[in-house]
Amino acid sequence: MRPRTNSAADRISSPGLVSQSHRQTKNADSLSCNFQSAGLQAAYRTIAKDPKYKHFINIPDRIIRCIDYFEIDGDRKSIKARLQSFYLFIGVVDDAIDSGQIATGARVLNYLDGGTPKFDEGSRTSNIELVTEILKRQISGDDYWLIVEKFRSLYQEVLRERAATSIEHYIDRRQLVGSLTAELSYLLISPLLKKDSEALRYLMKDVGAVGCLVDSLIDLDSDYRLGLLVFKPTLRSYAKLLSRTMQLGLGLSLKHPHLCLLFLQAIFDNIRDRISRNQPQVEACLSSEGKEQAASVA
């Protein structure tokens, strides 16, 4: 564990000294993919440097700051590598599902069950196959099947979320998806921690739930346009979603006041990156509408 020069609260509250873009590049360069093949390592780092995954790549540093906050010993380098492989995996799979490829979850479960081919330099693999294989190599053997079962539960919740017929049902499902995702990340790193910490586990689950609801505030309308929602969002839908998000976020801040700045940084990062990811879709829609109008005039 690195030397402590000040209190845990001071370390958590102090803002980062490097820019977000520099931090993402540094994080991507530090990813350990455990491949002999330089080509596959390069392919993996290319995915990690994609701007649309920047928010996911930055999450491990925040979790490590939470570990510092609870003063839990552990190999920070290994913890970070494991978290990076997990959250890049989540980012790639999330992007595929948001693009309408809902069957991606079933494919991933098949890979995790051992159906993934062994990769080599000549393999033609998708991003999903690659990040899944990397993640498999980061999971501790004793916990492997427990984690696979957690992934099954997560995928079932994602399917229930897509089938939600009301904003109330949708909010409940989103909250659970975020909580399960964060719990999975805790299970991945728990063998690397010197002691189990229920406080850290519950904090990560609560933060994951709030993060998922923040995503939904940004994506609700675009998800409906893409056909990912059964119900049509209304002003009432946004009001209920905002109310639940603020309620959970305020509860977290009151419970862990020294982490407030960290929470705010994560929220602003999330909002900026989600808007950036949605921008091409908006521009494509506007471009398509413009072409249709031009065609009708002609």
Which tokens hold the place of 273? 């990156």
Domain-embedded: residue 12: no
pLDDT score of 277: 61
Complete DSSP assignment for 51-77:
GGGHHHHHHHHHHHHHHHHTT--B-HH
Cα–Cα distance for residue pair 222/285, rounded to 1 Å: 11
* pTM of the entire predicted model: 0.78
Which tokens hold the place of 35? 């491949």
Domain-embedded: residue 236: yes
DSSP annotation of 236: H
Residue 112: domain span: 22-266
Cα–Cα distance for residue pair 159/69, rounded to 1 Å: 35
Reading the chain (298 residues) residue by residue, the pLDDT tens digits are 433 344 444 434 443 333 444 444 455 555 555 555 677 788 888 888 888 888 888 899 999 999 999 999 999 999 999 999 999 999 999 888 877 777 888 888 888 887 445 555 545 568 888 898 889 888 878 888 999 999 999 999 999 999 999 999 999 999 999 999 999 999 999 999 998 889 999 999 999 999 999 989 988 998 898 888 999 999 999 999 999 999 999 999 999 999 988 888 887 777 777 666 655 544 444 344 443 333 332 3
From the list 81, 70, 58, 26, the residue with the least C-alpha distance to 192 is 81
| 114 Rama sector, left if φ>0, alpha if ψ -120 to 50, beta otherwise | left
Domain-embedded: residue 292: no
Number of domains in the chain: 1
Domain-embedded: residue 296: no
pLDDT score of 40: 76
Cα–Cα distance for residue pair 88/27, rounded to 1 Å: 11
Domain-embedded: residue 146: yes
Cα–Cα distance for residue pair 154/293, rounded to 1 Å: 43
pLDDT score of 81: 92
pLDDT score of 34: 54
Domain-embedded: residue 1: no
Domain-embedded: residue 156: yes
Report the first-to-last Cα separation within the chain, whole angstroms.
Answer: 69
Cα–Cα distance for residue pair 283/260, rounded to 1 Å: 35
pLDDT score of 38: 72
Domain-embedded: residue 8: no
pLDDT score of 37: 65
CATH number at residue 111: 1.10.600
What proportions of the chain, in percent to the nearest 5, are helix, strand and coil? 80, 0, 20
Please state at what angle helix 76-98 crosses helix 54-69, rounded to 10 degrees.
Answer: 140
pLDDT score of 52: 84
Please report, to the nearest 10 degrees, the dihedral formed by the alpha carbons of residues 141, 143, 148, 153 taken in order.
Answer: 180
pLDDT score of 281: 47
